[in-house]
């Protein structure tokens, strides 16, 4: 398999879990872009944001994404939820014949259920104190990001599907 599989979607959509399963099934290495940035920069994304700001972070995000894609070390890449929306990152991914992007599409209600439980671990949403506020926040973000996410090669409806089912759907589209 001489290509990249890139998973795109909102936080909590299952990108990392699906990427890990795809990696097992295909024997391709798995790269979580956020984890790569944290390791390489030797600080958390929250610290990068606090210390240097979002523009600095987005430039680093683009730098590492471009390095991965240019390496031809074909892998499964899980992007941060905002990555497709900045620095013409979708244009970069679309410009390569060896890159297949998959938008893991989940309803605001379903992703809000997942995120509300783990909100304290996620700086962007840690301040949200009710499920209704979470769903409103997620709906607004998804609406804003949809023009970017929808540019993916494929859109996978992940609502009420297991990681295994989602993985099978992706692999079926690649054969």
Q: What pLDDT does 107 receive?
A: 96
Residue 141 to residues 43, 77, 81, 97, 136, Cα–Cα distance (Å): 26, 22, 10, 29, 9
Spell out the residues 6+ positions from residue 175 whose beta carbon is closer than 8 angstroms to its own.
Answer: none
Q: Is the pLDDT of residue 136 over 80?
A: yes
Q: What pLDDT does 1 receive?
A: 66
Q: What pLDDT does 46 receive?
A: 85
Q: Is the pLDDT of residue 171 over 90?
A: yes
* Tens-digit pLDDT profile for residues 43-66: 998 899 889 988 999 999 999 999
Residue 113 to residues 14, 61, 138, Cα–Cα distance (Å): 13, 28, 11
Q: Is the pLDDT of residue 123 over 80?
A: no
Domain residue ranges of the chain, discontinuous segments joined by +: 4-174
Percentage with pLDDT > 70 across the chain: 99
**pTM score, whole prediction:** 0.94
Q: Lay out the sheet containing 4-8: strands in order across.
A: 30-32, 76-78, 4-8, 99-105, 154-157
Q: What pLDDT does 36 receive?
A: 98
Q: Is the pLDDT of residue 78 over 80?
A: yes
Q: What pLDDT does 112 receive?
A: 96
> What is 4-174's CATH number?
3.40.50.300
Q: Is the pLDDT of residue 149 over 90?
A: yes
For the chain, what is the mean pLDDT? 94
């Amino acid at each position: 398999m001489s290509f990249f599989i890139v998973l795109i979607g909102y936080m909590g959509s299952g990108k990392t879990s699906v990427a890990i399963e795809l990696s097992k099934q295909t024997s391709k290495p798995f790269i979580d872009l956020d984890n790569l940035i944290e390791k390489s920069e030797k600080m958390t994304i929250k610290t990068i944001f606090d210390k240097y700001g979002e523009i600095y972070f987005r430039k680093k995000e683009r730098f590492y994404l471009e390095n991965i894609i240019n390496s031809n070390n074909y892998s499964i890449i899980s992007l941060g939820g905002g990555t497709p929306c900045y620095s013409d990152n979708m244009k970069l991914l679309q410009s390569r014949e060896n890159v297949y992007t998959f938008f893991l599409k989940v309803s605001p209600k379903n992703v809000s259920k997942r995120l509300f439980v783990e909100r304290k671990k996620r700086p962007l949403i840690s301040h949200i104190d009710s499920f209704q506020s979470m769903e409103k926040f997620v709906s607004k973000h998804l609406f804003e990001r949809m023009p970017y996410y929808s540019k993916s090669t494929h859109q996978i409806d992940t609502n009420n599907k297991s990681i295994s089912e989602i993985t099978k759907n992706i692999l079926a589209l690649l054969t």
